Chains A and B, each alone.
Chain A
Amino acid sequence: MTLATTDRADKEAEPVLPASRGAVAVRMQAVRKAFGDRIALDGADLSVAWGEVHALLGENGAGKSSLMNILAGFYGADDGLIEVDGAPAAFAEPKAASAAGIGMIHQHFKLVGPLTVLENLRLACGRKAGWTSNEAALSASQAMAQDLGFVIPMDVRVDQLSVSEQQKVEILKVLLGGARILIMDEPTAVLAESEAAGMLELARRLADDGRAVILITHKLRDVSATADRVTVMRAGKTVIDGAPARGLSAAELARAMVGGETAVVRRGNASFSAQVVLELKGVGTPAAEHDVPLRDLNLRLHKGEILGVAGLGGNGQSELLETIIGLRAPTHGDIIMHGETAPVQPADRREAGLRFVPADRFHLGLFGSLSLAENLAVPALSGRRPEKRYWVTKGWMRGRAEGSIRDYEIAGGVADTQARLLSGGNAQKLILAREFEGDFSILIVHSPVRGLDVRAAAAVQNRLLAAAARGVGVLMISEDLDEVLALSSRVAVLSHGRLSDAMPIEQTDRAELGRLILEGH
C-alpha cells in the first residue's frame, strides 16, 4: 500500500486529466460490508474506465450507495479489493479519497445555505485549489463555470438558488477540488425533465474530457441515453458487471434489477372480503419542492387483504402514506373510510381505526428521546377517550409496556430505555407493538422490513399476515418487489405519483411489473 506522501505542489503540477483513456480508473472486487447483522454488500464488483460514463443500476437497498460510499471514503469495506488507477486504495476518510481525485455529488447536497456560491466554493476547495484571495477564487470559479456552460451568480446565497442550480454548485465544487473520478448519486432524481437531459449531457461531456463518471441511477432512460457501460447490483451483489449499455434491452436490465424468474412465495390465503375499508377516488396532492405530487390516484382496499404497492422510492410513496393518514391535504379527490368521507384530522382517522407504520422510523414513527414505555403510551393517552386523564405514572406505563416488549420480542431495551437507542429492527417492533394495540381495521405500512435482518423481517411480515387474516385491510407500500409478491393479495405499481390498477397476484407477471416499475404507465 502506498502512503499518501503527495504534497500540494506535487498535486498541482499533475495534469488534471489522465491521458490514458480507456485504462481502468476504478476497480472494486468482491467487496463486502455489513452493518451489524445486516449485510449491505456481499461480494460486489465494479470496474470503471477513464473516459466513460458508467451507470450503476439497482433497486433501493441493492448496495449502490454503500459501494460508492466506500469508494469515496465515507466508510471502510470489511473485505475486498479496491484500486484506483491501478494502485490499492482503501481510503480512511473522505478527505483522502478527495485527494486521490474522487468526488461525489450527493443526492442531498452538502452546501452551506446562508453562504454565497463563492463562499461555498472557497470553503470546500479553497485550500486544495490554493486560492489566496477572493479574486483568485472568483476568476477560477467563473472560468470553470463558463467552461461547463453554467450560468450561476457567484455572489448569491446558496439557499436562494433553485435545486438544479445548487446541483451545479456541487459539481463546480467537486471539479474545482480536482476530481477526476465523479460519482453522481441519482443526479436526475431532483430535476425536471428538461434539466435532467442537460445534466446527462454534462455527465457525457465530463467523461469525454477524460474523466471517469459513475452515474448511480434507477432510471433506465438515463442508462440508455448516456452510459457507455452498465453495472447492475441486486441484494449486495453485482449481477451484471460492466456490460456495454447498448447491448442490453430495457427488459433485460429490469429483470437483472428485480431478480430473475424466481419462484414467488405466495401467501397461504389470498381470499379476502368484498367489503371496501378504504377508498381513494381521484386523489391529487399539490406539487411542492422535493415532493412527488400524487396524480388522480384511485385505490380500493378490501377488508382482510394485503394490497401491495410496488415501485421505486421517490415516486410518491411517502406522499401516499401521509395523504392517507391525514398529514397532507389533497387538492382534489376523496378519501373514503368505511363508506364515509374520511375526517380531516389525523387524530380522527386514527380513532376510526386507521394505523400506520412509516418507512422512516424516527421521522414519523417514534419519539427518540422518550422511553419505550412512553412511546407505547402516547396514542393511548391522546385520543378522544384517553386511558388516563390526569395522572400518568411511570409504573403504569412500565406495566403496560412490559407485555408488549415480551410479546413483540423487543430486545436491546427495557421499558425505561430511550427509543433512539434501539436498533432498526427493534424500533420497528416497537412501532408495530404500539400500532397493533386495540382495535383497528386499516393498516398502512411503508417499507416495513427495510434494514431488518432476516429474522426480524420474518417476524414483522408474519404480523402483517396475521393482521390481514383477522380482517384488517393492509396497504403495503414497499420498494422491495420480492416482499410485495410474497405477501400481497393484489399488486399495484406507483410510478411518478400515478398508481396502476391493482392486479390479483395470480395474474401478475414479474417482468411486466418490472417494466411498469421502471418505465411507468
Chain B
Amino acid sequence: MPYRLVLSPRLAVPRWLTAATLIGGIVFGLFCCAIFLIAFGVPASDLGNEFVLYVFGNSAGLDQTLTRAISLTLVSMSVALCLRIRFWNIGVEGQLWMGALAATAVSIYQIGPWFLRMPLMIVAAMVGGALWCGLAAVAKVRLRADEVITTLLLNYVAYLLAQDLLYGHWRNQADQFPTTPIFPKFEQLPNFGGWHLHYGVFIALVVVVFCWWLCRYSRFGLLSKAVAENRTASRALGIPVARITLTTACLAGAVSGLAGFSIISGEEHKLTQFVGNDFIFPSIAIAYLGRANPIGVLIAALAVAGLYTAGDSLKAFYQLPDTVVVTMEAFLLMTVAAFDVFVRYRISILRQRPKAPVAVPVEGQKA
C-alpha cells in the first residue's frame, strides 16, 4: 500500500469542530436512514415529506413531536445529569413510574385542597423519582453496588408495583379496566387550545434552564466536573464526593419523576399500564447525542421526537414495522459516535515510506 492513514491525538479541540462533527454525524446518519428507507420501498421523492413536512411542517405532526419531546427531554436530562458525574442511570423508567405513582397517590387519596392539588402532585412526583434513583446512589456510595445493575433492576420493581396497584387497589371500579379513574380538571395540565400539547412544556423548559445553570454557572456543576474526572483526587482535595453523587442522583430521579407527572397529568389524564414504557434506550441515546449538555439534550430530544413522528407516518403509509424507528435511531447514534474520531484525532494520509530504515545485523550473524 503506497499510502497510510495516520491518526494523531488532538490536544485542544476547537468548539466549531465539535459542533461540525456532531452535525456531520447527524447528516450522515439521516443519509443512511434515507438509503435504508428507500431499500424498504419508500419512494425517494417522498422522504422530504416524511421527514420535514409531517414532523415539523403541519400542525398535527408538530403537535405530536412537541408533546413527545416533553417527556423525552425530561428523562434524557435525568440520564445526562448522571452522566456528568459518570453515574450510569439506566433506571429512568423506574423513576418515571415512581413519580407517576406518587402523583397519582396524591390524586387518589385527595391530599390537600383542590387548588394545591397540582403543586402537591408535582412535588410528590419529584420525591418519588428522587427516592428511586437516590436508593441506587446510596447503595453505590455505601456498599459500592454497581449502579448499572441497581438502577436497571429497580425499573422492574417500580413497574411491577404499578401493575399491582392498577390491578388492585387503584383499579377503576367503574369499568374494571386496569387504569385509575380520569383525574378531575384541576389535576390536569392544561392543553394549548385544541392541541395535545400541554403546559408540561413549561416544566421541561424550566428543567432545561435550571440544569443549564447548574452545569455551567454553579459551584455544584464545577465540583461535579472534578468528581467526574477523578474521584480520588476530588476526595483528596476535600470535595464531598459522596454528597455530590447522592445529590445528583436525587436530582436526576426527580427530573424523571416529573416526566411521569407530565405524562399522567398532561397526556393520559389517568394512570395507565403503559405510561412508563420504552424510555430507557431513547433516554440514553438522547443524552449521548446531546453530549450530556442540557441545551444539547433539548435539541436531541426534539430531533428524536421528530423521528418518532416520522416513524408513525411511515408505519401508517408504508406498512413498515415498529422497529424501523429504532433502527433509524441506531443509525444516528452510530454515525454520531463514529464521527467522534474526527474530534479526537487529527487524520492525515501519508505516502508510505519505501521501508522503515531499520538496521538488522543480518550479514554480521551469517558471517
Contact = CB atoms under 8 A, between A and B. Distances in A.
Co-complex (A, B): yes
Contact of B365 (A14, A91, A350, A351): A14
Interface in B216-232: 217-223, 225-226, 229-230, 232
Contacts of B238: 346-347, 350-351, 379, 382-383
Given A87-B364, A364-B232, A379-B237, A4 B223 contact: no
A86 B223 CA distance: 58
Interface in B350-366: 355-366
B6 to A, nearest CB: 13
B227 to A, nearest CB: 9
B362 A363 contact: no
B361 A100 contact: yes
Contacts of A92: 356-358
B364 A91 contact: no
Given A2-B361, A388-B219, A367 B233 contact: yes
A367 B227 CA distance: 9
Contacts of B223: 378, 381-382
A243 interface: no
Interface stretch (A118-126, A278-286, A368-376): A368-376
Contacts of A377: 222
A161 to B, nearest CB: 24
Candidate in B220, B226, B360, B364 with the most chain A CB atoms within 10 angstroms = B360
A381 B219 CA distance: 7
Contacts of A4: 355-356, 358-360
A133 interface: no
Interface string A347-369: 10011000010100001111111
A347 B226 contact: no
A2 B356 contact: no
B364 to A, nearest CB: 5
B226 A392 contact: no
Interface size on A, as a range, is 35 or more
A88 B356 CA distance: 15
Given A370-B229, A382-B239, A84 B361 contact: yes
A83 B356 CA distance: 17
Contacts of A369: 225, 229
Interface size classification for chain B: 20 to 34
Contacts of A194: none
Interface in A35-69: none
B184 to A, nearest CB: 38
B174 interface: no
A151 interface: no
A358 B236 CA distance: 10
Contacts of B219: 381, 386, 388-392
- Max chain B CB contacts within 10 Å: which of A100, A382, A418? A382
B321 interface: no
B218 to A, nearest CB: 6
A378 B233 CA distance: 11
A472 B220 CA distance: 32
A329 interface: no
A350 B239 CA distance: 10
Nearest to B353: A92
Interface in B319-367: 355-366
Contact of B358 (A85, A91, A374): A91
A391 B220 CA distance: 9
Given A379-B237, A382-B238, A363 B218 contact: no
A3 B12 contact: no
A370 B234 CA distance: 12
B143 interface: no
B362 A10 contact: yes
B366 to A, nearest CB: 8
B152 to A, nearest CB: 22
B240 interface: yes
A383 B219 CA distance: 12
Given A89-B359, A96-B356, A363 B232 contact: yes
B235 interface: yes
Given A85-B365, A86-B364, A381-B223, A367 B359 contact: no
Interface centre among B12, B218, B223, B233 (most CB of A within 10 A): B233
Nearest to A2: B359
B11 interface: yes
B177 to A, nearest CB: 47
B233 A18 contact: no
B217 A85 contact: no
Most buried by B among A326, A364, A389, A393: A364
A79 to B, nearest CB: 17
Interface in B16-46: none
Contact of B360 (A100, A346, A368, A392): A100
Contacts of B233: 363-367
Contacts of A367: 225-226, 229-230, 233
B229 A87 contact: no
A85 B355 CA distance: 22
B222 A374 contact: yes
B336 to A, nearest CB: 21
Interface string A1-27: 111111000100010001000000000
A100 B358 CA distance: 9
Contacts of A346: 235-238
Contact of B235 (A3, A89, A327): A327
Contacts of A87: 359-361, 363-364
B357 A393 contact: no
Nearest to A417: B12
Which has the most chain B C-beta neighbours within 10 Å: A18, A347, A383?
Answer: A347
Nearest to A379: B237
B219 to A, nearest CB: 5
14 contacts: A1-B357, A2-B361, A4-B358, A100-B359, A347-B235, A358-B236, A369-B225, A374-B222, A382-B239, A382-B240, A386-B219, A390-B220, A391-B218, A392-B221
Question: What 6 pairs across the A-B complex have the smallest Cβ distances?
Answer: A87-B361, A347-B238, A4-B358, A96-B358, A85-B361, A382-B239
Interface of A: 1-6, 10, 14, 18, 84-93, 96, 99-100, 322, 325-327, 346-347, 350-351, 356, 358, 363-370, 374, 377-379, 381-383, 386, 388-393, 418, 421
Given A3-B358, A363-B233, 15 more contacts: A2-B359, A2-B363, A4-B355, A4-B358, A10-B362, A85-B364, A85-B365, A86-B364, A96-B360, A326-B236, A327-B232, A346-B238, A369-B229, A370-B229, A382-B240
